[in-house]
Structure 1
Amino acid sequence: MPTSDDYTVAWIAPLEVELTASIRMLDVGHKKLPQSPVDHNVYHLGSINNHNIVIASLPTTGNSSAAMVITQLRNTYKQVRYGLLVGIGGVHISNGPIHLGDVVVNEPVDDHSGTIHYDHGKALEGYFQRTGYLHSPPNTLLNAVRALSTEQAICGDNLLSPHLERIDTKSISLRHYQYPGVDQDYHFNSNCSHLEKGKPCDKCGCDPRQKVDRSAQDSEDEIYDDNQKPRIKVHRGTIAAGEKVIRNGQERDHLANQYNILCFEMEAAGVMNDFPCLAIRGISDYADSHKDDRWQGYASAVAAAYARELFFHMPIDDTKGQGNSTGT
C-alpha cells in the first residue's frame, strides 16, 4: 500500500461535477491515508500509468480557496512535485476558433507566462494597472503537453475519446456528462444581453439574428472525427484568473483583446505562483450573460480526459509504484 510520500502529483478539481469526472479517470483507486492535523481536505487517491495522484476538490470556488487547499495538501503529501488544475472555463472566440467542449491549456506566449491575474493590480488615476503575470507551468508538464500534441498530429486519432468512455453516460446519475450536441453551441454578439435569467435563450426572446455566424468553422469534418465522435480540439495560450465570474460579453472582449486571453477561470491565481501547476480547462460557456450549466458536465469530462492522457506523456519515476488497488 502506498504511503503519503509515494504521491507526487496533485490534481485539483474545484467543483463537484469536475471531481466526479476526475475520479473516473483513475486506473485504480487507493485507500485513504492519515492526514496532518492541519489538513482538512478530503482526498481521492489513485494512480494513472504508474503515477500516484492526490485528487482534491475545493470547499468554495475562487483563488483563496484553491491556495488554502494546496497549502493543506502539502502538509500531508510532502513529496508532491507539481499539480494539475482541472475544470471548466469560459472562452473568448476571437483569439482562436474555439467551441464549447474544446480544451484550453495555459502555455507561455512570447514573453508572457501563460496565466494572468486579470483583476490584480493598482487603481491609478483614470485607469487600472495590472501588476505582473503569474509563474509559468513547470517544464515537465509543458513538455508533456507538447509530446501529446505531437502524437495527436502524427497519428491523427482523437486521443481523448477513449478516456471519455470511462464515464458511463447511460447511467442516469452521469447523463449530464453527455455531449450536448452542436445545435446547443451558439454564441451571441457581445452587445447582446440575455433577457431573462434562468431561462434558455430560445425561451426568453434572445434575438437569434445576434448569433455569430461560425459556419466556416462548423463543417462536419471540423465537428466530428471519422468515428462520428465529437472532435475535441486543444488550444494552448493565456488563461486569465480572477475573483469573479465573467458574464459580460463586452467586459470579456475588453480583457481578452488587451491580454490575448483564450479562457477565463477563478482558481489558477491562487496556486500558480507558489506551486508548479498546469491549468486544464474544458470550455463550458462563452463568458457572457447567456452562460448556463448545459455544457458543464461534458466540459468537465473533456478536461479530465485531457489530464488523464497527459500522464501517458510524462516521465515515470521508477521508484514510485502503483500500490494496492481498492477499485475505482
Structure 2
Amino acid sequence: MSTSGSGHTTQVTPVVTRLPEPRRASTPPTIGVLTATPWEFAAMRALLDRPHNDEGTRNDPAHYVLGELPSRRSGADHSVVLTQLGRTGTDAAASGCTNLLRSFASVKLVVMVGTAAGIPDLRHPERHVRLGDIVVATQGVVDYDHVRVNGDGVQPRRQFPSPSPRLVRCADRLKADELSGEYPWEEWLGDRMPANLNGYARPRPGTDLLHDHTGRRLKHPQRNRTGHRPGLPKVHYGSIGSANRSLRDAVVRDQVAARHGFLALDMESAGVGSSCFLNDREWFVVRGIADYADSHRNERWRHYASLAAAGYVRALLAECLPVEPQYGHDELASAAN
C-alpha cells in the first residue's frame, strides 16, 4: 500500500512472474530421434533445421531439441524431437524411449542413431565392415543375450519386433540410388560439414587398424573386393546385435556375429525396439562404425562415425513422406488441458 500526496491511499497489486511455457513447434513432432552420447547428440543436432530447446513434460528429466528435417514432399518437412539418453545400455534406451513417447504423444516413429562396433569379415570381403562405415538395420535387431540355454544349445527366447517397414523401403531407395552414383549423406562429411562441429573430420586412413585376438595386425581386404571408395564410408544393410554387453574381445565378437550374421553390435537398439513395440510405435536403427569390439578399441573414430550416421538419417528421412501424428491435433489439445 502507498499514500499519494493528496492523502488518498492507493492499493498496489503485487506482480507475479510466471515462468514461460516450454516452446512447442506449431506442428507436433512425429519422429523421435535418440542418441546415447554427447558426440552423437551434437552430430544429429547440427543437421537439424531450425532447432530449438524444449523441456518435455513434468516428471521427464530428459532435455529435448525440436527441429525439422526434409521429407520427400517439398514444403512439408518432418517435425522432429531429438534427445540424448542418460547413459548407455538397453535399459537406459528403453526408459529414454518411453519418456520421449510420453512427453511427445504425437511421435509415431523413433530412430536410434549413433555409433556401434563393426564386424570385420576377411573371408567374405563384400561383408567386411570398416571404421567410419554406416550400418543400416534393414533386417532388424537381435537381442543376442535374451536366450534360452538347453541341451540343444543356445536359442533366442522370442523373435524381436521388425523395424519400420516405411523406413526399410526408404533405405531400399537410397540403396538403389547408390547404383546411380548418388550418395546424399556424404555432403555432410565434406564441404557442408557443420562449422560448429570440431573434431568430426575423417581420421587418417592409417588409423583404421585391425587386429586378431593375439594382437597381431591384420590386413584389410583390398577395396576393389570390399566396395569401399577411398576416404568415404560404405553403407551396409543387414542386422545388428544388441545387448547390455560392452564387447572388447575379438573371439567372442566373431562367435556372436557368426551365430547370427550380424554386421555390427551396440548396447541400445534392443531397448528402443522393445519400448516401441510395447508402445505401438515404429522404430529404426542407423549406426556409424567407431571400433571393432576388440581390446584395441579407442575413441579416434567416434566423432566421424556419429556424423556419418546422422547424415544418413537426414538422407533417409528425405526419402520418407510426411508422417501423420500418432494422435490427432484435437486429442493432443485435450490431453494438454
Report what 1:310 is aligned to. Answer: 316
Q: CA deviation at 1:71?
A: 1.0
Confirm or deny: 8 A CA contact 1:24 1:167 kept in the other structure.
no
Q: CA deviation at 1:75?
A: 1.4
Q: CA deviation at 1:232?
A: 1.8
Report what 1:162 is aligned to. Answer: 187
The 5-angstrom pairing of residues 1-328 of structure 1 reads 2-3=24-25, 6-32=28-54, 35-49=56-70, 50-94=77-121, 96-108=127-139, 114-124=140-150, 127-154=153-180, 156-164=181-189, 165-168=191-194, 174-189=197-212, 191-193=213-215, 210-217=216-223, 222-224=228-230, 230-275=231-276, 276-317=282-323
Determine the C-alpha separation between the residues in 1 that align with 2:324 and 2:254.
46
Q: Deviations over 1:213-251 (max 9, x none)?
A: 225227999433xxxxx2221101110000011110000
Confirm or deny: 8 A CA contact 1:13 1:87 kept in the other structure.
yes
Q: Give the RMSD, CA atoms, in angstroms.
A: 2.4
Q: Deviations over 1:158-203 (max 9, x none)?
A: 322212355446x6xx3321100211112112x224xxxxxxxxxx
3-state secondary structure, aligned to 1:85:
strand
Indicate how the Cα distance of structure 1 residues 66 and 220 shifts in structure 2: closer, same or farther if over 3 A, else same. Answer: closer
Q: Which runs of 5+ in 1 are unaligned?
A: 109-113, 194-209, 225-229, 321-328
Confirm or deny: 8 A CA contact 1:24 1:166 kept in the other structure.
no
Determine the C-alpha separation between the residues in 1 that align with 2:227 and 2:138.
27
Confirm or deny: 8 A CA contact 2:138 2:171 kept in the other structure.
no
Confirm or deny: 8 A CA contact 1:163 1:308 kept in the other structure.
no
Amino acid in the other structure paired with 2:264:
C
Confirm or deny: 8 A CA contact 2:40 2:114 kept in the other structure.
yes
Determine the C-alpha separation between the residues in 1 that align with 2:24 and 2:87.
29
TM-score, normalised on structure 1? Answer: 0.81
Q: Which moved more, 1:298-307 or 1:88-97?
A: 88-97
Determine the C-alpha separation between the residues in 1 that align with 2:299 and 2:224.
22
Confirm or deny: 8 A CA contact 1:115 1:133 kept in the other structure.
no
Q: CA deviation at 1:316?
A: 2.0
3-state secondary structure, aligned to 1:175:
coil
Determine the C-alpha separation between the residues in 2 that align with 1:310 and 1:76.
25
Determine the C-alpha separation between the residues in 1 that align with 2:324 and 2:164.
20
Confirm or deny: 8 A CA contact 1:38 1:72 kept in the other structure.
no
Amino acid in the other structure paired with 1:283:
I
Q: Deviations over 1:43-94 (max 9, x none)?
A: 0110011101010101110111111111111112111011110010111112
Q: CA deviation at 1:271?
A: 1.6
Determine the C-alpha separation between the residues in 2 that align with 1:220 and 1:251.
23
Determine the C-alpha separation between the residues in 2 that align with 1:167 and 1:14.
21
Confirm or deny: 8 A CA contact 1:5 1:78 kept in the other structure.
no
Determine the C-alpha separation between the residues in 2 that align with 1:306 and 1:16.
18
Determine the C-alpha separation between the residues in 1 that align with 2:99 and 2:211.
41
Determine the C-alpha separation between the residues in 1 that align with 2:283 and 2:226.
35
Indicate how the Cα distance of structure 1 residues 317 and 80 shifts in structure 2: closer, same or farther if over 3 A, else same. Answer: closer
Indicate how the Cα distance of structure 1 residues 9 and 217 shifts in structure 2: closer, same or farther if over 3 A, else same. Answer: same
Determine the C-alpha separation between the residues in 1 that align with 2:324 and 2:253.
45
Aligned residue pairs, count: 288
